[in-house]
């Protein structure tokens, strides 16, 4: 087998391969033997049809399958022999196909990981905002908890709707005099507040009394999920049936105890727990911001191309992560009518930065001859178990696969490279 490798760019190689005629002939023979065992042809018992008969009936299929088999095998061999760090499937063009007594020639263009010689990554100057927790942050968190624990209770002593109330209504509507899907409903809850009906708000109820009917016009968006309603205007009659208001719980020991958090029985214990949690969050925020600042500073001193396939893969991972977050909330991202093409475009710069950072850290780890030991991996599993609140045995079970452990090793190696940047940097507090 002859192999020629051409550097098209720092992130693309053109690999030209010529496969010996003998290997082509051998693969053809094996293919026809295998076909002969299973082919059913009139006048021949299974396995007895001559090759010439098989060629007459199946030549194009066999040659196509043999070409694909040879390309897959020989390209893998060429990648191994030439030490090509492939990051995406190749684009193959066959110049001379499968034929008895002739070589198979093809060209494969493939994206590769750039080979970096990192420079000037020591002595970086960055700033960071140190972790800090204020009394205002704790108060805001208490307010958020109080708001989350609020309950809707019937309004007493008045019969007119005020802004901020929650109203129970019946409604019916028409478009061009005809009812439509969803036009009639009873016991619907809306908020007496500015905004659109589609958002659950109905300001027109303000000042109306129980039993009164409000007539409104509600336009439907051009991209509404129901095609028949797109761009139409509905005339709605809304009857006010009941009023409720949000009642906030008192900020006291009872509120703290009602949360069911282990070790939290009083308001002071709740404040202490919130402070501890916010401190951890702030420390993670400061660490992540420092990491981002160091990587960006190092990238400014190291310009290099990035394989487009890696950027697309990073975008895929971001979208998969978003889908998982939606799924945990009981939502299917496929049913949300999202513009995925626009989302991919919006994520591209972030993905490019992420990929460039990882490639540079990997190159720095190579330059620093950083190794990852089994002890390093075990320590990381132990740390993750503590952070996620998992039993150590469960965390170890989740990391048993080779793929999971390889990903963990890459992360540990990346963290060690970050330590090199951090320890050699000048870090000023913002």
- Give φ, ψ of 122 to 5 degrees: -95, 150
CA angle in degrees (0–180, nearest 5) for 348-351-356 = 125
**8-state DSSP, 116:** -
pLDDT digits (tens, 9 = 90+) for 82-99: 999 999 999 999 987 788
State the burial class of residue 406 (Cβ atoms within 10 Å of its Cβ: 0-12, 13-18, 19+). Answer: exposed
pLDDT for position 334:
75
Statement to judge: residues 298 and 192 lie in one domain:
no
Tell me how far apart the alpha carbons of residues 391 and 410 are, in angstroms, rounded to a whole number.
Answer: 23
Helix (H) or strand (E) holding 272: helix 267-300
pLDDT for position 398:
87
pLDDT digits (tens, 9 = 90+) for 414-427: 999 999 999 999 99
pLDDT digits (tens, 9 = 90+) for 11-29: 999 999 999 999 999 999 8
**Mean pLDDT of the region 138-164:** 93
Strand-pair partners of 214: 238
- Evaluate whether residue 177 is within a structural domain: yes
pLDDT for position 183:
84
State the angle between helix axes of 340-367 and 308-328 in degrees (0 to 180), rounded to the nearest 10.
120
pLDDT digits (tens, 9 = 90+) for 210-235: 999 999 888 888 877 777 888 888 89
Statement to judge: residues 303 and 236 lie in one domain:
no
**Mean pLDDT of the region 383-401:** 88
- Evaluate whether residue 405 is within a structural domain: yes
pLDDT for position 54:
84
Helix (H) or strand (E) holding 408: helix 402-423
Kindly report whether the global pTM for this prediction surpasses the value 0.75: no
Mean pLDDT for the chain? 91
Domain span at residue 396 reads 279-429
272 vs 339, more confident: 272
pLDDT for position 225:
74
Number of domains in the chain: 3
Choose among 191, 188, 183, 196: nearest CA to 239: 188
Length of the chain equals: 430
Statement to judge: residues 11 and 53 lie in one domain:
yes
pLDDT for position 162:
93
CATH no. for residue 359? 1.10.3120.10
**Mean pLDDT of the region 327-338:** 77
Tokens of 56: 């007459």
Helix (H, G, I), strand (E, B) or coil at 41: coil
pLDDT for position 291:
94
Tell me how far apart the alpha carbons of residues 204 and 216 are, in angstroms, rounded to a whole number.
Answer: 8
- Tokens 């075990």 label which residue? 378
Cβ atoms within 10 A of the Cβ of 16, count? 16
- Evaluate whether residue 237 is within a structural domain: yes
Statement to judge: residues 228 and 93 lie in one domain:
no
- Evaluate whether residue 146 is within a structural domain: no
Q: Indicate the residue among 63, 81, 111 that finishes a domain.
A: 111
User: Is the confidence at residue 101, as pLDDT, over 90?
Assistant: no
pLDDT for position 150:
92
The upper half-sphere exposure of residue 122, i.e. CA atoms within 13 Å in the direction of its Cβ, equals 7
pLDDT for position 224:
75
pLDDT digits (tens, 9 = 90+) for 183-198: 899 999 999 999 887 7
- Evaluate whether residue 255 is within a structural domain: no
User: Is the confidence at residue 243, as pLDDT, over 90?
Assistant: yes
Q: Indicate the residue among 85, 111, 137 that finishes a domain.
A: 111
pLDDT digits (tens, 9 = 90+) for 109-139: 999 999 999 999 999 999 999 999 999 999 9
pLDDT for position 271:
96
pLDDT for position 57:
83
Tokens of 31: 């293919």
Statement to judge: residues 106 and 168 lie in one domain:
no
Q: Indicate the residue among 94, 111, 128 that finishes a domain.
A: 111
pLDDT for position 151:
92
Percent of the chain with pLDDT over 70: 100
pLDDT digits (tens, 9 = 90+) for 267-316: 999 999 999 999 999 999 999 999 999 999 999 999 999 999 999 999 99
Helix (H, G, I), strand (E, B) or coil at 96: strand
Statement to judge: residues 310 and 392 lie in one domain:
yes
Helix segments in 45-134, DSSP class H? 51-82
Q: How confident is the model at residue 337 (pLDDT cuts 50, 70, 90)?
A: confident
pLDDT for position 349:
94
pLDDT for position 330:
80
Q: Are 197 and 134 in contact (CB under 8 A)?
A: no
Q: How confident is the model at residue 205 (pLDDT cuts 50, 70, 90)?
A: very high
Q: How confident is the model at residue 327 (pLDDT cuts 50, 70, 90)?
A: confident
Q: Hey, what's the torsion of the CAs at 386, 391, 393, 395, to 10 degrees?
A: -50
User: Is the confidence at residue 336, as pLDDT, over 80?
Assistant: no
- Evaluate whether residue 373 is within a structural domain: yes
- Evaluate whether residue 124 is within a structural domain: no
148 vs 48, more confident: 148
pLDDT for position 358:
95
pLDDT digits (tens, 9 = 90+) for 372-388: 999 999 999 999 988 88
- Give φ, ψ of 387 to 5 degrees: -70, -35
CATH no. for residue 13? 3.30.70.1050
Q: Which residues 6+ apart lie within 8 Å of 363 measured at CB?
A: 116, 117, 118
Statement to judge: residues 12 and 93 lie in one domain:
yes
Tell me how far apart the alpha carbons of residues 128 and 430 are, in angstroms, rounded to a whole number.
Answer: 5
- Burial code (b: 16+ CB inside 10 Å, e: under 16) for 174-205 equals ebeeeebeebeeeeeebbbbeeebeeeebbeb
- Give φ, ψ of 34 to 5 degrees: -65, -40
Tell me how far apart the alpha carbons of residues 161 and 168 are, in angstroms, rounded to a whole number.
Answer: 11
pLDDT for position 197:
79
CATH no. for residue 216? 3.10.50.40
């Amino acid at each position: 087998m002859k192999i020629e490798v051409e550097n098209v760019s720092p992130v693309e190689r053109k690999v030209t391969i010529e496969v010996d005629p003998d290997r082509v002939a051998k693969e053809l023979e094996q293919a026809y033997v295998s076909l002969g065992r299973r082919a059913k042809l009139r006048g021949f018992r299974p396995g007895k049809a001559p090759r010439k008969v098989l060629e007459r009936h199946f030549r194009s299929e066999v040659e196509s399958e043999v070409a694909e088999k040879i390309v897959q095998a020989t390209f893998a061999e060429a990648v191994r022999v030439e030490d090509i760090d492939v990051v995406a499937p190749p684009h193959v063009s066959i110049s001379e196909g499968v034929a008895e007594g002739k070589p198979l020639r093809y060209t494969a263009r493939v994206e590769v990981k750039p080979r970096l010689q990192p420079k000037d990554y020591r002595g970086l100057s960055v700033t960071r905002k140190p972790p800090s927790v204020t009394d205002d942050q704790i108060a805001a968190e208490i307010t958020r908890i109080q708001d989350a624990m609020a309950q809707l209770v019937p309004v007493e002593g008045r019969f007119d709707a005020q802004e901020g109330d929650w109203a129970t209504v019946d409604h019916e509507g028409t478009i061009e005099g005809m009812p439509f899907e969803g036009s009639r409903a009873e016991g619907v809850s809306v908020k007496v507040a500015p905004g659109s009906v589609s958002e659950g708000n109905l300001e027109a109820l303000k000042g109306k009394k129980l039993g009164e009917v409000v007539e409104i016009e509600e336009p439907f968006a051009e991209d509404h999920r129901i095609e028949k309603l797109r761009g139409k205007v509905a005339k709605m009659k809304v009857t006010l049936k009941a009023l409720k208001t949000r009642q906030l719980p008192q900020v006291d020991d009872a509120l703290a105890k009602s949360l069911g958090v282990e070790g939290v029985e009083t308001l002071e214990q709740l404040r202490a727990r919130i402070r501890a949690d916010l401190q951890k969050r702030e420390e993670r925020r400061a660490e992540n911001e420092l990491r981002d600042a160091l990587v960006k500073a190092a990238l400014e001193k190291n310009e290099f191309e990035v394989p487009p396939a890696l950027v697309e893969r990073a975008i895929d991972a971001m979208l998969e992560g978003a889908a998982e977050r939606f799924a945990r909330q009981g939502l299917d991202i496929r049913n949300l009518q999202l513009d995925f093409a626009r989302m991919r475009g919006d994520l591209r710069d972030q993905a490019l930065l992420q990929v460039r950072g990882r490639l540079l850290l990997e190159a720095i780890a190579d330059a620093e001859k950083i190794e990852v030991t089994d002890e390093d991996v075990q320590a990381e599993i132990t740390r993750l178990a503590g952070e996620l609140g998992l039993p150590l045995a469960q965390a170890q079970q989740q990391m048993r696969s080779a793929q999971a452990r390889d990903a963990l090793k890459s992360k540990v190696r990346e963290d060690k490279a970050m330590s090199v940047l951090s320890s050699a940097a000048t870090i000023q507090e913002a």
